[in-house]
Structures are given as structure tokens and as C-alpha cells.
Structure 1
Amino acid sequence: MSMPDLNLLITLDVLLAEGSVARAARRLQLSPSAMSRALARLRDATGDPLLVRAGRGLVPTPRAIALRQQVSELVHDSVAVLRPVGTLDLTQLARTFSIRTREGFVENFGAELIKRVRAEAPGVRLRFVPKPDKESTGLRDGSVDLETGVIGKSTGPEIRTQALFRDRFVAVVRAGHALAGGAITPASYAGGEHIGVSRQGGDKGPLDDGLLALGLERAVVVTVAGFAPALALARASELIATVPERHTGLLRDGMHSAALPFATPEFTVSMLWHPRLDADPAHRWLRGHMRAVCGADRPDNP
């Protein structure tokens, strides 16, 4: 099946609006004969005369009357698609953004982000979805609009990224724990019982490498998949949780936190998005708020 000439939609829209071949020709800057040929092509394409003679003028057929509103909307929408993007009217923006994050993000940054977004764009909804892995599939297929995390080898090479903040690991214990009474040493840290955090279920990581360099090893007695359950266990036991400092701020309320007493690398938390959304004004607006709320625009961020 051959593709119809979509330019005929513009011609039909003008013909139905003017009800005259001559006036439609002047409006489209065509000759009357060219407009007559276009009307003939429209009749062939639709299988309907569309405009018929009535005295000295033309009147639309029932099919033309039925098509008038639909054709007008199609032409309007097509013109809007091809027109450069104008100023974003946030008060009229109605859109849902899906944001994929690890636990701790919503608890620490979600309320302020929602407050900012709702103040400017009450029709916008945010949908936070869990992040069980680092794969970029959701960004590629459009099911995720924005993501936060540490850039890794599995991050697609085409994915756009922007740093939000630097973070570091801290040791966290319940109030009243033996380690909460004084300075933590490498030996006292390694001598406690620990909660491992791993989405893949592994026991070892960069923390263990740092201890190993000092000839020490920690005992991981339980492993969980996220920071929130690690902190919940530490809050109700003698176990030690080691979690990112900024990412878990509110989750650690009422607990004792301390810098690790040995060298561990800091890491950068970034936001990630697909390049097809790079120039989208609404998405750029959301990224600006993400940066302001939890990232590099904060005065306390190094």
C-alpha cells in the first residue's frame, strides 16, 4: 500500500474552512487550476466528492462535514510537532516522570523535590521506582525518565550523565552501642559483627580491601540487598552497618554514625538520562530541580 500525500491534509483543511476553491487557492498561494487538481486528488483519495456545486458556490458533503474537525486537529498537531519549542508553561504541564533510584533517595531528597515541582507545575506527577541493578534498559526503552546512581561499566555509552554529589561510607550503630562511646579504630571496627550490603549477595567489597591493606578482616554475619534494611537491623542489634553518608541521612536519625578509620574511596552519585530527552524543556526543568535539591547547587556540597 502506497503512502498517501500528507500535504493533502493541509489542502483539505483550507478547502473545508473556506468552502471555495478560489479563496483556498489565494490562502495557499496557488493558482485556481492547481487547487482544482488538488481537490480532484482528494476526491480520489477519500472516495468522496467532498465539495459539490450548489448554485454559484460549493457545499460540503456529509463526509466532508464529518472530517472537518478531525482534519483541523491533525493539521494543528502536525504544525505543532514541526514548530520550534516555545517557552515551557509549567502551570499547564501535565506529565508523569519516572525516577529510578536506590533506597534512601526518596527518604532524603524526595520531599523537597516534590515541594519544588508542585510549586511550579501542579499538574506534574513523580513516580519513584526501585533500582535493583545498574542496567540502562529502562532509560533506553523510555520506561524510566531519570535515574540516580554511580556510573559503572554497565552504563550505556550513549547515556547522558551529570554529577550530583560526592559521598563516602560511614559506620553506623545503634545509640548505646559499644562503638558509640568513643573514637572508632580500625581494630575496633573490624572486631565487630557486620551487615553486608550487596544486590548480588556478595560478601566482599572496597571496604574489605581497605581493611585488608591493614592486615584486618571484618566478620559479615548477615547480608541484605539495601541500605534501609541494613540500618533497620543495626538499629535493633549490636551489628554494624556501613552505608553512604549523604544518601542515608534521614534513615540514620537517632543512630550513631562515624567516619571510617581507614582509607576508602569516595564516590560520585550522578543523574542519568537518555539523549532523546536532552533538549526536552520539561525534562531539563526537572533535572535542574534534581541538581538543586540533592546536588551540586547545594552550598554544603563540596
Structure 2
Amino acid sequence: MSMPDLNLLITLDVLLAEGSVARAARRLNLSPSAMSRALARLREATGDPLLVRAGRTLVPTPRAIALRQQVSELVHDSVAVLRPVGTLELAQLARTFTIRTREGFVENFGAELIKRVRAEAPGVRLRFVPKPDKDSSGLRDGSVDLETGVIGKSSGPEIRTQALFRDRFVAVVRAGHALAACALTPASYAAGEHIAVSRQGGEKNVVDDALLALGLERKVVAMVAGFAPALALARASDLIATVPERHTGLLRDGMHSLALPFALPEFTVSMLWHPRLDADPAQRWLRGHVRDVCGRG
């Protein structure tokens, strides 16, 4: 069996990314006819048309769609293998790192992280984007460098993780709230009016399960998608917000926080990244700073 031309992997990666023979040819500095011949060789090698015409455009076949991620990773890994590992020159590093987090992370850890990063690498920018779900597709396709959060089933088995800190839920009320002046009990907690936090819009969560086990039920009068709006509502009313303690430290400034009077398990906030970034010196440097900043206190 003859050895296939591995250069075709690069061609296939660009063709699948561009979806156009002409654009792929420009990216690889080839003529359109040379790219067309390369596509013909790819079709022969794979036994699949890969890209077929739909009107005036080309669309990928199911086989091409299935190959896209695998081919991209193979090309990326091959380039990494053939690239010499040099010393990371932080003073000359000019990159933008995208970090996907839930609200509270930037407010509590962002300023210190930016300070540390810019002290060593002034050409680096940090781009924080919201995390409305646990979908890890951004890590897979490279649009996100790093995520923080609680590891979920949808994270993907290949995703790398490292614990940052342990956290727990606390009840938060405005300064001067009646609950701030007395010891919180399960009954007094349940008797108050509450804000439920749910990204999917559900009203019940682990807090309600714990209360149900005690024969209690809280009254939810408002539902929001994040911790910041929950705390904003609690700050301006007599409503109770139940939020993670460390993750919302600065967001709770000036408010009164109370330990929950019933057992809830603590949880671990971790950072997540794709394995293709494991050995990248700049990525490892960034992860080290995130770990150090989140580990303080």
C-alpha cells in the first residue's frame, strides 16, 4: 500500500475551512486549477466528493463535516511538532487571550489578573466573554482559550481541567434587612421571599431540594439568569439572593451575607482548556497567573 501524500491534509483543512476552491487557492498561494487538481486527488484518496456544488457555492458532504475537526487538529499538531520551541519572550508577546467566565469572575479576579499579566507582558490583552452555558465548543474550535466554571457533563472528555478554588452558597440580603439581625434558621430562610438564579429558566435547584428534605419550601418571586442581577435586586429590596460566596465577593460589597442553615455540598470552580494548548508556553503562562490569582485567600 502506497503512503498517502500528507500535504493533502493541509489542503483539505483549508478547503473545508473556506468552502471555496478560489479562496483556498489564495490562502495557499496556488492557482485555482492547481487547487482543483488537489481537490480531485482528495476525492480519489477519500472515496468521497467532499465538496459539492449547491447553486453558486460549494457545500461539504457528511463525510467532510465528520472529518473537519479531526483534520484541523491533525494539521495543528503537525505544525506544532515541526515548530521549534523557543523561549517565551513576554516583553515582546502580543496576543489577545479569550477567557469565558460567568459573571462575578471579572469583578473579583479580573483586575488583579490584568495587573499581573501586563506587568510581565504589556502587549497582551485579555478578552472576557460571558458564559451562558457549559458548552465547550468554543474551546474545541479555538475561539476560546480558557474557561472557568464548574465541570459539567457537556464539557467533553478531552477537555483539560485544573481546580482553582472551592466555593459554597450563601444567603445575601441588603444592609438593614430583618434577617441580618438574627440567627438564620431553615424556617426563617424559607419564610422569606427569594430570587432564583437559573441560566435555563428553571425555578428549582439544589437549594429547593435541601429545603424539601426538611419539609420546607421557599417562595420565589423573581427569576434571573445570573448572580449579578440577583444581587442587584436583593440590594434594592427585601428579597433574598442565594449565590456562591467567593465568586461574588465584590458584588456583595455593602450587603449582609449569611451561612445557609442547612447542608449544601461545596463545589469546585476549575479552569478548562483544550489539549492542543497544553504545551503552548504563552497559554501555560496565562494559566499559571489565573491559578495564582484565584488561589489567593
Shift of 1:73: 25
Judged with a 3 Å threshold, the aligned counterparts in structure 2 of structure 1 residues 4 and 272 are, in CA distance, closer, same or farther, namely: closer
Range 26-35 or range 122-131, more displaced = 26-35
Q: Is it true that 1:262 corresponds to 2:262 in the alignment?
A: yes
Aligned equivalents of 1:239 and 1:61: distance in 2?
54
Judged with a 3 Å threshold, the aligned counterparts in structure 2 of structure 1 residues 198 and 87 are, in CA distance, closer, same or farther, namely: same
Aligned equivalents of 1:65 and 1:139: distance in 2?
18
The superposition leaves residues 149-175 of structure 1 with CA deviations (integer Å, 9 ceiling, x where unpaired) of: 000111111000000000000000000
Judged with a 3 Å threshold, the aligned counterparts in structure 2 of structure 1 residues 214 and 97 are, in CA distance, closer, same or farther, namely: same
Aligned equivalents of 2:252 and 2:280: distance in 1?
36
Q: Is the 8 A contact 2:77 2:276 kept in 1?
A: no
The superposition leaves residues 70-108 of structure 1 with CA deviations (integer Å, 9 ceiling, x where unpaired) of: 999999999998343121110010100000000000000
Judged with a 3 Å threshold, the aligned counterparts in structure 2 of structure 1 residues 4 and 111 are, in CA distance, closer, same or farther, namely: same
Judged with a 3 Å threshold, the aligned counterparts in structure 2 of structure 1 residues 82 and 218 are, in CA distance, closer, same or farther, namely: same
Aligned equivalents of 1:274 and 1:293: distance in 2?
21
Judged with a 3 Å threshold, the aligned counterparts in structure 2 of structure 1 residues 223 and 87 are, in CA distance, closer, same or farther, namely: same
Q: Is it true that 1:203 corresponds to 2:196 in the alignment?
A: no
Shift of 1:49: 38
Range 253-262 or range 71-80, more displaced = 71-80
Identity over aligned pairs, percent: 91
Shift of 1:224: 0.1
Shift of 1:24: 34
Range 40-49 or range 169-178, more displaced = 40-49
Q: Cα RMSD between the aligned structures?
A: 12.5
User: Hey, what does 1:271 align to over in structure 2?
Assistant: 271
Aligned equivalents of 2:54 and 2:221: distance in 1?
91
Alignment gaps of 5+ in structure 2: none
Aligned equivalents of 1:46 and 1:92: distance in 2?
43
Q: Is it true that 1:80 corresponds to 2:89 in the alignment?
A: no
Aligned residue for 1:65, secondary structure, equals helix
Judged with a 3 Å threshold, the aligned counterparts in structure 2 of structure 1 residues 269 and 24 are, in CA distance, closer, same or farther, namely: closer
The superposition leaves residues 37-85 of structure 1 with CA deviations (integer Å, 9 ceiling, x where unpaired) of: 9999999999999999999999999999999999999999999983431
Aligned equivalents of 1:33 and 1:225: distance in 2?
53
Aligned equivalents of 2:151 and 2:294: distance in 1?
17
Shift of 1:203: 0.6
Judged with a 3 Å threshold, the aligned counterparts in structure 2 of structure 1 residues 253 and 83 are, in CA distance, closer, same or farther, namely: same
Range 55-64 or range 246-255, more displaced = 55-64
Aligned equivalents of 2:284 and 2:102: distance in 1?
22
Aligned equivalents of 1:91 and 1:249: distance in 2?
32
Judged with a 3 Å threshold, the aligned counterparts in structure 2 of structure 1 residues 65 and 230 are, in CA distance, closer, same or farther, namely: closer
> Size of the alignment, in residue pairs?
295
Give the 4+ runs in structure 1 shifted more than 4 A: 1-81
User: Hey, what does 1:108 align to over in structure 2?
Assistant: 108
Aligned residue for 1:208, secondary structure, equals helix
Judged with a 3 Å threshold, the aligned counterparts in structure 2 of structure 1 residues 253 and 34 are, in CA distance, closer, same or farther, namely: closer
Q: TM-score, normalized by length of structure 2? A: 0.73
Shift of 1:21: 38
The superposition leaves residues 174-209 of structure 1 with CA deviations (integer Å, 9 ceiling, x where unpaired) of: 001010112101100000000000001101011111
Aligned residue for 1:106, secondary structure, equals helix
Judged with a 3 Å threshold, the aligned counterparts in structure 2 of structure 1 residues 69 and 199 are, in CA distance, closer, same or farther, namely: closer
The superposition leaves residues 231-285 of structure 1 with CA deviations (integer Å, 9 ceiling, x where unpaired) of: 0000000000000000000000000001100000110000000000010000000
Range 72-81 or range 97-106, more displaced = 72-81
Alignment gaps of 5+ in structure 1: 296-302
Q: Is it true that 1:238 corresponds to 2:249 in the alignment?
A: no
User: Hey, what does 1:20 align to over in structure 2?
Assistant: 20
Aligned residue for 2:258, secondary structure, equals strand
Q: TM-score, normalized by length of structure 1? A: 0.72
Shift of 1:213: 1.1
